[in-house]
Structure 1
Amino acid sequence: MALRAALALGLLAAAQPGPAPRQRREAELFLEKYGYFSEPGPGTHSPAEFMEAVRDFQRVTHLPLSGVLDAPTLHQMALPRCGTSDGESRGAWARRASTARRRRQTTPHGGRWYKRHLTYRVVNWPSYLPQHEVRLAVKAAFELWSNVSSLVFWEARDGPADIRLTFFHGDHNDGLNNAFDGPGGALAHAFFPRRGEAHFDSAERWSLHSGKGRNLFVVVAHEIGHTLGLEHSPVKSALMSPYYKKLSKDFVLSWDDILAVQNLYDADHNLYIFKGSHYWVVTASGNASNPQPLQPRWPGLPPSIDACTWSQLSGKFYFFKGGRCWRYVGSTLEAGFPQKCSTRGLPRHPDTALYFQQLQRLVLFKGAKYFVVSEETLGVEPYYPRSLWDWEGLPPGTAGALTHRDGFIYFFRDDQYWQFDRVKLQVVATGKWATQLPWMGCWDANSGQVLF
């Protein structure tokens, strides 16, 4: 009997004091398959270990944390889902839950590609689906990720490719746990970089539309996320949730999905430096790019901006100039922007913008005051603005700021920098940024000159 069918029997017996032996055994196999036990070996887990595994599963699926194999839990286990294990994700989920923190900030354990241009190939597809429509659906699924990141994809019709999409039936030689079980159950699974494979159950009734059948576009988009290095997300509305989201009027990607892929491929400790109508990108190694024009990267953005920042919470870029604010997701200007700062109580011509992790808010600096701003409302929080004295040792009129991977915040003005300790809430060092901060990538050792 298929695993999901056996689990469904629990619905008939859920009123009993405890699960029947068969129910418990099938549930244990399910939890084993999806990585909810720290040690392998079905049938060898104590009641306490089993209860904790059930609680972990309930936490992931937003069910009451009873630790009991009740009817809702059995029902959830029987639903169609991604066949990729949740085990790699559970550590990050636990850390996020224990600290009651925001969306993912750490790099997932799935790894990543060390290039930004990737090829993909649709190896085969169900014969009842038109080839050109399948290719369009797959292309759209890849574009979901490229639209919010620095990744670029193009299709290879034959020969080798970085990412390969293949339909299989039953056992297909990549482990018994990955064997497909017919309609329902595990619909697909994928492998993290750099294997670059996504497998789909050919026994499913796939659809290219929102009607009957499994929507191929949504499942392909989810599995592509795995091939890029993304783990399962604990956010219920996320595309990378273990249970595939339904295609609706809502955005396919949630902010959790966007932040995850940008943390892997956009937020690699890159530094953005803006001047006039151009910007430079400085990598973690301190290598600076050639000047790039603002318009192709952020269409509609005017030159000579006053302040800008990138939010680790939402993955959005914020730009300020004069009395207006622009907000971008990747390179896409968000609907309703630019907005007038005056309608939100924001200062005109801010000196510096910063995402401050401790507050999980944006901070705008203007003269001798600072404003704490909520991203949800883009409004100033109560009791602000406050005096810059709260930022001990920081002078007014700084022209930029960033949080470095060493944990300090660096503020800049002219040729000076101020190193700010986020724990002590005070400036702990100052100096000349071009010559004393090699990771800024601004000093040309050969010519002895500042690059920009």
Structure 2
Amino acid sequence: MGARALRAALALGLLAAVQPGPAGRQRREAELFLQKYGYFGQPAPGERSPADFGAALRDFQWVAHLPLSGVLDAPTVHQMGLPRCGTADAESRRAARRRRKRYSQHGGKWYKRHLTYRVVNWPSYLPQHEVRLAVKAAFELWSNVSSLVFWEARDGPADIRLTFFHGDHNDGLNNAFDGPGGALAHAFFPRRGEAHFDNDERWSLHSGKGRNLFVVVAHEVGHTLGLEHSPVKSALMSPYYKKLSKDFVLSWDDILAVQNLYDVDHNLYIFKGNHYWLVSVSGNASEPQPLHTRWPGLPPGIDAAAWSELSGKFYFFKGGRCWCYKGSTLEQGFPQKCSAGGLPRHPDTALYFQQLRHLVLFKGPKYFVVSEETLHVEPYYPRSLRDWDGLPPGTTGALRHRDGFIYFFRDDQYWQFDQAKLQVVATGKWAAELPWMGCWDANGGQVLF
């Protein structure tokens, strides 16, 4: 029996039950592997029926993108031996069929958007400043696609702690590191906030020999934010760490998973008069709701509205005044006049533009970039709407959809804006072409708005 299997057997109290012979030993090691990575519940591995073992193997083969044979064949044994993350694969094939959201049900999430992290120690052969830069870049991957903000704490307490350990490190023998190969690292869901790395691995900060620290840290940070493993092979959160390449490190599966946890749940708000409609991700629209029930003190007939991915706040504009709400609570000092900050009266459209990390207001042929902290227009603005190639003046609403595009609206038209190309890439009739707008009743085919 190998060292990893021996340690796992001791951890589970199963050493006496190990079957003799190569075939029995291989099955026992496979059972221990499936137990460790969450493919079995109770009872103990020694009591597994052939049907249970085959079902667990098929779940693992699905996650590993192998043929679903349910047989412990050579490719399956080989895959089990590859270096990987030590956190369990809670998202099995059956679980994936039951639910769409891929985040930890038992680990929850952080209930704040500003988090600190601390690099407790690092391998002695790696330069300290380069390790810190790699860790910072790993955290920035997630902050760039969510409303989370991270900063490093050099000492003292921190929300998330990154530590390198040898062997058993008081996480239980099942989590003990096993030297080069095997489990390279593991992490805990919120709000324990810890990621542990095997100090006996050969870590690298570049694309040469050794395990790339940046990729592994970025993966484990995903767990500390509440994300489970992804069944998507190209995802950073795949249990078998992706290789660093020229491709973007985060896949859309990673991005949507973290945004489901920390953005505004992808609901769409439509405003008209003194009512609003809420449209869910599925495209189902609510009945019209009075504005004052959700945002007390907000007047009817607002000009523009935006939700900030940076602060999680709602901003409403009407005439020369602005209202700011955190949830349903009006922030202190609001409503306030916006003219002193150079904001336009009666803006056409408002949105939070992630590339700039600022609010943007549109008025006629110009746009204004606005600081959330001061509600003042930033220097060198307003600028011409020509910067937004193909966007016409006078749009009356905008949103960033989960597909990555920004959609602008006016009357029955929409314009699809590519944030990377900074240009409109499609236009059409939103009621007919955008089913997620919720404009058709599923039963009667009647326009809701």
Match of 2:235 among 230, 235, 238: 238
Q: Give CA-to-partner distance per residue, 1:246-304, whole Å, 9 cap, x none.
A: 00011100000000000000033666679767625558954467799646645496715
Write out aligned runs for 1:228-267 (5 A): 228-267=225-264
Partner of 2:216: 219
For residues 403-442 of structure 1, the aligned pairs below 5 Å read: 409=438, 421-422=441-442, 425-426=445-446
Q: Aligned AA for 2:132?
A: R
Which residue is 2:376 aligned to? none
Summarize the Cα distance change of 1:424–1:123 in structure 2 as closer, same or farther, 3 Å threshold: farther
SS at match of 2:45: coil
1:339 and 1:316, CA in 2 relative to 1: closer, same or farther beyond 3 A? closer
Partner of 2:423: 338
Instruction: Flag as ranges the 4+ runs of structure 1 deviating above 2 A.
Output: 2-6, 87-92, 104-108, 267-302, 304-312, 314-325, 420-428
- Pair 1:325-2:410 in alignment: no
**CA distance in structure 2 between the aligned counterparts of 1:247 and 1:4, rounded to whole angstroms:** 29
Q: Contact 1:276 / 1:305 at 8 angstroms: preserved in 2? A: no
- Cα 1:422–1:323 shift into 2, 3 Å: closer
- For 2:110, the equivalent position in structure 1 comes to 113
Shift of 1:318: 3.1
Q: Which amino acid aligns with 1:129?
A: L
Correspondent of 2:194 among 197, 205, 222: 197
**Mapped partners of 2:397, 2:162: distance in 1:** 43
Q: 1:305 aligns with which of 373, 378, 395?
A: 395
Q: After superposing the two structures, state which structure 1 stretch, 114-123 or 173-182, moved more.
A: 173-182
TM-superposed CA distance for 1:124, in Å, is 0.3
Match of 1:153 in 2: 150
Give 3-state SS (helix, strand or coil) of 1:180's partner: coil
Q: What is aligned with 1:47?
A: 50
Residue 217 to residue 424, structure 1, CA distance change in 2 (3 Å): farther
- Aligned mates of 1:226, 1:276 — CA distance in 2: 41
Query: Does residue 1:38 correspond to 2:35, yes or no?
Result: no
Letter matched to residue 195 of structure 2: A
C-alpha displacement of 1:175: 1.3
Which 5+ residue runs of structure 2 have no aligned equivalent? 8-20, 272-301, 308-312, 315-324, 336-342, 344-349, 363-393
Greater shift in the superposed pair: 170-179 or 268-277? 268-277
Residue 210 to residue 424, structure 1, CA distance change in 2 (3 Å): farther
1:54, distance to aligned residue in structure 2 (A): 0.5
- Find the counterpart in structure 2 of residue 397 from structure 1: none
TM-score normalised per structure 1: 0.67
The SS at the match of 2:196 is: strand
Larger CA deviation: 225-234 vs 302-311: 302-311
CA RMSD in angstroms comes to 3.2
- What corresponds to 1:206 in structure 2? 203
**Alpha-carbon spacing, 1:272–1:145, altered in 2? closer, same or farther (3 Å):** farther
**Number of residue pairs aligned between Structure 1 and Structure 2:** 339
2:279 maps to 1:279? no
Please say if 1:25 is aligned against 2:28. yes
- Per the normalisation by structure 2, the TM-score is 0.68
Task: Sort the Cα spacing of 1:159 and 1:272 in 2 relative to 1 into closer, same or farther, 3 A.
Answer: farther
Structure 2 Cα separation of the partners of residues 91 and 108 of structure 1: 15
Matches within 5 A, 1:48-67: 48-67=51-70
Range moving further from structure 2, 168-177 or 222-231: 168-177
Hey, what's the Cα distance between the residues in 2 that align with 1:4 and 1:184? 13
The answer to whether 1:75 aligns with 2:78 is yes
Q: Residue 196 of structure 2 aligns to which amino acid in structure 1?
A: H
Q: CA deviation at 1:40?
A: 4.3
Task: Give, in whole Å, the separation in 2 of the partners of 1:181 and 1:54.
Answer: 23
Q: 1:42 Cα shift?
A: 1.9
Distance between the aligned counterparts of 1:187 and 1:200, measured in 2? 6
Match of 2:299 in 1: none
Cα distance change of structure 1 residues 133 and 231 upon mapping to structure 2, 3 Å threshold? same
**In the alignment, what sits opposite 1:186?**
183
- 1:147 partner letter: N
The question of 1:167 aligning with 2:164 is answered yes
When residues 71 and 266 of structure 1 are mapped into structure 2, their CA distance, relative to the original with a 3 A threshold, is same
Secondary structure, in 3 states, of the residue corresponding to 1:188?
Answer: strand
Alpha carbons of 1:25 and 1:316: their partners in 2 closer, same or farther (altered >3 Å)? Answer: farther
Contact 1:89–1:233 (CA<8 Å) still a contact in 2? no
Query: SS of the counterpart of 1:43?
Result: helix
Name the SS for the 1:37 alignment partner: coil
Please give the alpha-carbon distance, in whole angstroms, between the structure 2 residues aligned to 1:237 and 1:207.
Answer: 21
**2:399·2:407 contact (CA, 8 Å) conserved in 1?**
yes
Tell me how far apart the structure 2 counterparts of residues 172 and 183 of structure 1 sit (CA, whole Å). 16
SS of equivalent residue, structure 2 residue 46: coil
